[in-house]
Structure 1
Amino acid sequence: MSRYRPPSAPSAPYITPQGRDKLMTELRYLCDDLRPEVTKALGEAAAEGDRSENAEYIYRKKQIREIDRRIRYLVKRLEVVKCVDQRPADQSKVFFGAWVELQDLDTGSTARYRLVGADEIDLDAGWISVDSPVARALLKKQEGDDVVVERPKGEVIYEISRVQYDPFE
């Protein structure tokens, strides 16, 4: 059996100002604080002698590779993303950055989501990717509209009860 997986579709190149600031803060931390600290520890481990059996040296080399990989990713991603810092002209409809409150018509339960970029997903806070099936179903809809979302378990019908571009209280 093959392990081949077709490449996934590229994520939307949008990000909120808070998400961009978070990525830039992480990049600064990796470059200015963590990498020099790990490099110093690597030098100390290398000075201990035989590198082929030095677990500390091998671990630090691996750690440097992982840090460098993340730095490369962040630099490339920050070049590509477009920061969406303005609200849409029609704020009654769901677009990127919107806070949406949904009511499940079958169970009556309520869910609150914010549509954000792929780099900002936080399920505990209710931040979902604009590329997710729920977000794609919500785009360009407004309060009172019914939305059908296809899920692996079957489809679910939600009613949009609130749309706003400020966080819910």
Structure 2
Amino acid sequence: MNKAFVKENDSEDDDELDGAPRLPAGTRNYMTKRGYATLKGELDHLLKKERPDMVQVVAWAASNGDRSENGDYLYGKRRLREIDRRIRFLIKRLESAVVVDPAEQQNPEQVFFGATVTVSDPDGAEATYQIVGVDEANASQGRISWISPLATALLKAREGDTVKVASPGGPREIDVLEIRYEP
């Protein structure tokens, strides 16, 4: 069969990228304004800058003749496929996004999406986390996904509550010290 009519990788799923978090079936793609703006900015950069630049490189490489041994052409085509795949992924995630502004939370005494929560473990070590969308989670910056075990344990908790969290080292208890909602 002609290679023009088959996928390079039949197991390729355009909805998800390697390493990209998967949303649970039937759930919405909640995102903060900051997370939405970040993904939108990446999409705009890919569409307006990176993809057009790569198309120029591929066109130049194709004009050099034999494409079968032309590294610039082969690399460029592969990079274009990666860019196009990321663009499709971002478009689908942004179309399904439900943007939530934490500052507009109606019940600030409880932990919900967008809350910034300060917790302490039994040893007295404190940590602060913001509950955010799956695409904007970054544990090293204190932003955890709303579907993570820690976030699901914290949901609906109030200041002063002790919640049980399933962790790799076994169940543990943490105390909720402070809840705030920031834009």
Q: Same fold (TM over 0.5)?
A: yes
> What is the rounded CA distance, in whole Å, between the counterparts of 2:24 and 2:38 in structure 1?
24
> What is the rounded CA distance, in whole Å, between the counterparts of 1:125 and 1:76 in structure 2?
26
CA contact (8 A) 2:28 2:98 kept: no
CA contact (8 A) 2:23 2:134 kept: no
> What is the rounded CA distance, in whole Å, between the counterparts of 1:12 and 1:146 in structure 2?
28
CA contact (8 A) 2:162 2:175 kept: yes
Q: 1:117 to 1:76 in 2, by over 3 A?
A: same
Find 1:87's aligned residue among 101, 104, 110: 104
CA contact (8 A) 1:12 1:118 kept: no
1:111 equivalent in alignment to 2:131: no
1:161 equivalent in alignment to 2:177: yes
> What is the rounded CA distance, in whole Å, between the counterparts of 1:34 and 1:166 in structure 2?
33
Give the length in aligned residue pairs: 160
CA contact (8 A) 2:28 2:96 kept: no
> What is the rounded CA distance, in whole Å, between the counterparts of 2:163 and 2:73 in structure 1?
55
**Amino acid in the other structure paired with 2:177:** S
Matches within 5 A, 1:12-91: 12-85=28-101, 87-91=104-108
State the identity %: 43
Find 1:138's aligned residue among 144, 150, 154: 154
> What is the rounded CA distance, in whole Å, between the counterparts of 1:61 and 1:135 in structure 2?
41
Residues 111-154 of structure 1, C-alpha deviations (whole Å, 9 max, x = no match): 11000000101122100000000000000001000010011211
TM-score (normalizing by structure 1): 0.90
> What is the rounded CA distance, in whole Å, between the counterparts of 1:8 and 1:90 in structure 2?
25
**Amino acid in the other structure paired with 1:64:** L
CA contact (8 A) 1:98 1:163 kept: yes
CA contact (8 A) 1:12 1:131 kept: no
TM-score (normalizing by structure 2): 0.83
Unpaired stretches in structure 2, ≥5 consecutive residues: 1-21
3-state secondary structure, aligned to 1:26: helix
Spell out structure 1 runs of 4+ moving beyond 4 A: none
CA contact (8 A) 1:116 1:130 kept: yes
3-state secondary structure, aligned to 1:96: coil
> What is the rounded CA distance, in whole Å, between the counterparts of 1:13 and 1:95 in structure 2?
15
Residues 73-110 of structure 1, C-alpha deviations (whole Å, 9 max, x = no match): 111111111001252211011000000000001x2111
